[in-house]
Structure 1
Amino acid sequence: MNYKAYTDEALLRLIKEHDDHLAYSMIFERYNALIYSHVYNKLRNEFEAEDTVQEIFSQFWIKRNEIDLTYKFPGFLFLLARNKVIDHVRKKKLSNITEEFYSSNLYTKTYSTDFLIREKQLEALIAHEISLLPPKMRQAFELRYKNYLSIRQISEEMGISEATAATHMKKALKTLRLKLKIAIFIVFLANILGSN
């Protein structure tokens, strides 16, 4: 079956109605560079743009049943891209606020030996939470964030489809974000209370 000869509409129909991974891979091949260029133009950071694009295509697969076949493509992808970029910028602003706190005099004054111990405990907790991920999910996560492999490279390394690799990554990140938000809040709160 020559997917390269298929129109976008035909590929989208296969994705939506038959969960066709090869059709998804063809859409990825056609639009990856275009979406990356669009996202990079907004973020101006190669690593952040690559991560965001992977999230966009992962979201595209997850939302495949919501695709409106009468809607002009790649409008659907650009809509996902717009939302992901906005979400990324919001998270980055929040991260910058956190960094400002940690680099401020207030943080320096309260950066006690006790807090350093808590920080080590937090690092151990992060490693522990990663170890608790299901094996395939953990492997995909470590290949991405320890070996810096792309989704395509991860799929080749693990012998799975790009869609499956992207799904593993999304689930791993969702799980860890929830766990680590709680852990970071506890460490932050303990530091504030310890300084009073």
Structure 2
Amino acid sequence: MTANHTDDLQLLARIKVGESRAFDLLFVKYYPNLLHFSRSLLPYPSDEAEDVVLEVFHQFWRNRDTINIHTSLSAFLYVSVKNRIYDYRRKLKLNTPLEDIHGDTMASQEGPDHTLNYKEVAENIEKLIRLLPERMQLIFRMNREDELSYQEIADLLEISINSVKTQMYRAIKFLKETYRFDSSVV
């Protein structure tokens, strides 16, 4: 069990008893990536992506005492966003498959210099991640930041697990090669 999963379980327990601060922490932790995911599944740029994510969080808070999560909390939130988008698309009578819309698309206490260097490295890596193609970036973030398994990502994005593996391999290869050999990019 990862530290992130354990933290999520603790947050969930606190949320279930009505602790709004725990809900705020959950929101801050997952909102940016869920918004990016939502935008990637909608057919055109709109405020709907933000509305979808906010509705998911609103419903999560409203039903907090009855929610039973059998997967990870992040997987639950991603599936909730995906289902909400399906509902939204159904209301608009959009029948285009999601794939067609999307397209191809730690610091130690050693001292301030070490912390500064760590922050600089983290910023450089983040810049490189932003250079990845949108779909590859999404898959990479879902795996590395949200700790979703390849199978969970494949299920959420409705692609094969081999596609997820290939995208992750290419992303990691790009990040390693670019960071090592071309620091001018960052």
Q: Same fold (TM over 0.5)?
A: no
- Which structure's CA Rg is the greater one? 1
User: What TM-score do you get using the length of structure 2 for normalisation?
Assistant: 0.44
Q: If each structure's helix is expressed as a fraction of its own residues, which one has the higher value?
A: 1
